[in-house]
Copies of this chain bind each other. A is one copy, B any other.
Amino acid sequence: MVRTQITRIPELASQQRGDLDALLDSALVGHFALQADEHPVVIPTAIARDGDSVLAHGSTGSRWMRALASGVPTSLGVTMLDGIVVARSAFESSMHYRSAVLFGMCSTVVDPREKRAALDLITDRLLPGRVAEVRDPTVKELAATLVLRLPIDQWSLKISADWPEDPDSDLAGPAWAGVVPMTVTYGAPHPAPDLSAGIEIPDSVRNLGRY
């Protein structure tokens, strides 16, 4: 596929499926693109990898989710920022990132058991262990939820994880160079104002801070 060829800075390209999976398993959100009324539209949504596909879900009332479910061609971008590359010049300064673009068409998860498993996976992706702590979804809740599956088939991946690459003329200069790591951290949990007395913070929430 021409679309998945990385034509620029090929040294950043990775063909490693393991690298792709690691990215998809560390990002909580992706951006789907689709064409609507002759104009591109970006749709941000929570994602969760399920083996060889990426799951997304939303309300059956969402126009864009329904459009994706109709099987139109789509592209999914998933990006994680891992740091700031501080080079000796503005030109060479950049970021540490991992960025994937997937291409294909979504299908709708219809089978009730598959749909329930997909939703459990999405819930536990956001908050590992949470499924075991909450009640089962109701029939009405399941019916109100659209679950989409995009196969991991056509994709490209770029990983920037190197030191700044300054030319010799700048290496001799006075400017500092290095990398500042960026990470997502979870703060202390805030209990809801209407939480009943005596309900302890569950393990899923406690463990989140340990990521």
Chain B residue contacts of A175, Cβ below 8 A = 133-135, 199, 202
Chain B residues lying within 8 Å of A99, measured Cβ to Cβ, are: 44
Binds B, one of A48-56, A106-114, A163-171: A163-171
CB distance from A140 to the nearest CB of B (A): 9
Chain A interfacial residues counted at CB < 8 A = 98
Q: Which residues of B contact A2 (CB under 8 A)?
A: 37
Given A3-B39, A189-B86, A199-B176, A31:B77 Cβ within 8 A: yes
Indicate which residue in B39, B178, B200 contacts A75 across the interface (CB closer than 8 Å).
Answer: B39
Q: When each residue 182-194 of chain A gets 1 if its CB lies under 8 Å from chain B and 0 otherwise, what string results?
A: 1111111111111
Known A-B contacts A36-B3, A190-B179, A205-B178; the reply to A61 vs B8 at CB < 8 A is: yes
Contact yes or no, A95 B134, CB < 8 A: no
Contact partners of A183 in chain B: CB under 8 A: 184-185, 187
Given A31-B42, A35-B35, A90-B119, output 19 extra A-B contacts at Cβ < 8 Å: A8-B59, A8-B61, A28-B81, A32-B42, A35-B40, A39-B103, A42-B76, A42-B101, A83-B187, A88-B135, A89-B134, A90-B134, A175-B202, A179-B189, A181-B188, A182-B187, A183-B185, A183-B187, A184-B184
| Between-chain CB contacts (< 8 Å), 10 pairs | A7-B62, A41-B103, A84-B208, A86-B204, A134-B175, A163-B194, A176-B191, A177-B195, A179-B189, A180-B205
